[in-house]
A and B are shown apart, each in its own frame.
Chain A
């Protein structure tokens, strides 16, 4: 014990870290900030270090070459002892990091922490959020599989929409004319050097400012932030009724960070690593690319925008969004912090959260995408066919072989781009169906040139049988008349 003390003294005489560390640890904080609501920032910081450590461990094996990356990931997954677990830790760590950063931001927003004098802390935080998302995207690219390849294609296509410089930016993004080796190399540099380096710097400044300016006090309705008085008020709050950061508040940070890391490990252990999915071979067109979870909402938004709105939205919305985030602390640097007195803030946060949730949910089952294999892989439910006439059966074959199923579900299986057809006969008459098939419309292609009359007849005859047993199919008023006149005519001609 004595020996250890000696060594400590020797080191301290040279490093002289004790003073600043003690200051940082023991600085007084408002007593009510020792709350579980204040643990997300430190958890994000911890996750950053988890990502750095697991990332370095993966970089020991990963080959950042377009030709080899995919195989090296499979070696990690299958041939190295617990390589799969480290990949899973890094992947789930990324998920948790994005989630914790977003929760941290929402909490800070709700608590009005961005107000005077912590504007710059917020601004750095916005950049840290963007860099976290950037890490998530570049990380998805390094998992160089089909999703990564086509995700880059989507990135390039979005970039290409920027007026004038779009084409040059695509070249810069891809490092050449197409997605290839140069692309992966530059995303590797971004993911491993550029962005993490900046993140460390920004995160350190962010924490530095939290220590220097003090943690935001628990907002009280009516306690209004004014530039002239705030610093004095905060000083009084911390020094008269405050408590030292360590251990009064810090123990919660420590426990929460540990819990988050444990949660990452459990997820990694139970759910395993992400992918890699199929080979990054552009000659494989039988692929259904999908972005990672945190970009699904963009994927959904892009599917639902009307074509004319798309380019302006893609290019302008992010700029406006970031500008709003950056401008927020300057626009509202004084005033109420409590959410009881900030209804607009509450509504905005709820709206954003709900929209994000809905778009993400939609994107998980992509109702706008055709199911590319439904036509050849999803059987027509036998109950629709068992007592069917031969023509109806042929209609069902036409329905499958002409890829109708790719967009129209039957029996709960198939694409969801178009309406489900299980009770189509009650909604459309035979004539309406024929018109719809031949001419398309309402976002359906026209099949007029590709379906000869007997195929249309068979198809529509099959569709006519799709109605619940207790609900008769819809019939055109005119059809009855045509049939009656036909009978009259034929009986007339027989005489």
Chain B
């Protein structure tokens, strides 16, 4: 073994010592950053998840108008402003629904969204049908499925009448996963007890 090599070995050993101390400091630095990151993660995740709320938190009673606005035996379009409106929502703060007045104090309030994929259904009083322009879902006057791809009838809102005003319990876009309720009339797979 020559002198050179011995020198090199000693040098390496010396470096090993110093390096391991520096590595320790680096590890500490990384760990410190990890801790800071963890501390930051919670606020970030909570911030990101802030729109996720229970359905009840997104719903409130909304007035659609005087009961007298809705003629007996007819289905009419009604609009309201989403209770969680922000100033920059513009037109999208509006929501549309269909109000069907069955008797003096008996109503059905349907969401405009098709139960299939949420497109806006249109009411045709002549044939007493709701038709969806997207994939051709059709519903009878009572909201029961008539034909097409929807698996169920139209979504309905809960309603109540107070001081002669029709109010509905609404606030979020009805989808299959949230509180929008099933129209529980007959067998929704086609045999409707349509009263239209």
289-343 of chain A: CB within 8 A of chain B = 289, 299, 302-303, 305, 307-308, 310
Write the nearest CB–CB distance from B154 to chain A, whole angstroms. 13
**Is the beta-carbon distance between A449 and B195 smaller than 8 angstroms?**
yes
Instruction: State whether A289 touches B133 (Cβ < 8 A).
Output: yes
Interface string of B104-128 (1 = CB under 8 A from A): 0000000011001111111010111
CA distance A170 to B147 in the complex (A): 27
Q: In the complex, what residues of A have CB within 8 A of residue B122's CB?
A: 285-286, 372
Set A179, A289, A310: member contacting B149, Cβ < 8 A = A310
> Given A153-B118, A450-B196, do A445 and B77 touch, yes or no (CB 8 Å)?
no
Q: Is B55 an interface residue (CB 8 A)?
A: yes
Q: Contacts A177-B171, A370-B136, A445-B147; is A156 near B118 (CB within 8 Å)?
A: yes
| Distance between A430 CB and nearest chain B CB, rounded to angstroms | 21
Report yes or no: A282 in contact with B92, Cβ–Cβ below 8 A.
Answer: yes
- Alpha-carbon distance A162/B175, docked complex (angstroms): 11
**Nearest chain B CB to A246 CB, angstrom units:** 41
Are the CB atoms of A403 and B131 closer together than 8 Å?
Answer: yes
Besides A177-B173, A440-B146, 18 other A-B contacts (C-beta < 8 A): A160-B177, A170-B177, A177-B53, A178-B92, A178-B171, A182-B51, A183-B92, A279-B91, A280-B90, A281-B94, A282-B92, A283-B96, A289-B119, A407-B136, A443-B147, A445-B140, A445-B147, A446-B146
Q: Which of A61-69, A121-129, A233-241, A380-388 contacts B (4 or more CB under 8 A)?
A: A61-69
Select one of B51, B92, B132 contacting A149, CB under 8 A: B92
Q: Are A450 and B127 in contact (CB under 8 A)?
A: yes
**A323 CB, nearest partner CB in chain B, Å:** 24
B135 touches A445 (CB 8 A): no
- A181 & B88 in contact (Cβ 8 Å cutoff): yes
Contact of A226 with B by CB under 8 A: no
Q: Which residues of A contact B85 (CB under 8 A)?
A: 180
CA distance A444 to B148 in the complex (A): 8
The chain B residues found within 8 Å of chain A, CB to CB, are 48-49, 51-53, 55, 58, 77, 79, 82, 84-96, 112-113, 116-122, 124, 126-129, 131-136, 138, 140, 146-151, 171-173, 175-178, 192, 194-196
Q: In the complex, A162 Cα to B195 Cα: how many Å?
A: 34
Partner of A150, one of B90, B119, B135: B119
The A contact surface, by secondary structure, is loop
> In the complex, what residues of A have CB within 8 A of residue B124's CB?
375, 403, 406
Query: In chain B, what residue has the closest Cβ to A170?
Result: B175
Per the bound structure, the CA–CA distance linking A172 and B49 in Å amounts to 7
A154-B117 in contact given A67-B91, A281-B92 (Cβ < 8 Å)? yes
A166 within 8 A of B: yes
Q: Determine which of B90, B91, B176 lies in contact with A161 in the assembled complex, contact meaning CB atoms within 8 Å.
A: B176
In this assembly, does A468 line the interface, its C-beta being within 8 Å of a C-beta of chain B?
Answer: no
**Are B118's CB and A157's CB within 8 A?**
yes
Do B173 and A179 touch (CB < 8 A)? yes
A53-93 residues with Cβ-Cβ distance < 8 A to B are 65-68, 70
Q: Which 5 A-B pairs have the closest CB atoms?
A: A67-B90, A177-B172, A160-B175, A445-B146, A153-B118
B177–A65 contact, CB under 8 A?
no
Contact B126 A401 (CB under 8 A): yes
Q: Are B173 and A372 in contact (CB under 8 A)?
A: no
Within 8 Å CB of A307, what residues of B? 149-151
Is A158 in contact with chain B by the CB < 8 A criterion? yes
Cβ of A277 under 8 Å from chain B: no
Inter-chain contacts of B127 with A (CB < 8 A) = 402-404, 445, 447, 450
Residues of B within 8 A of A184 (CB): 92
B residues in contact with A70, CB < 8 Å: 90
What is the chain B residue whose CB lies nearest that of A417?
Answer: B136
A198 CA / B122 CA spacing, docked (Å): 41
CB proximity of B151 to chain A, nearest CB, Å = 5
Identify B175's interface contact among A156, A180, A375, CB under 8 A: A156
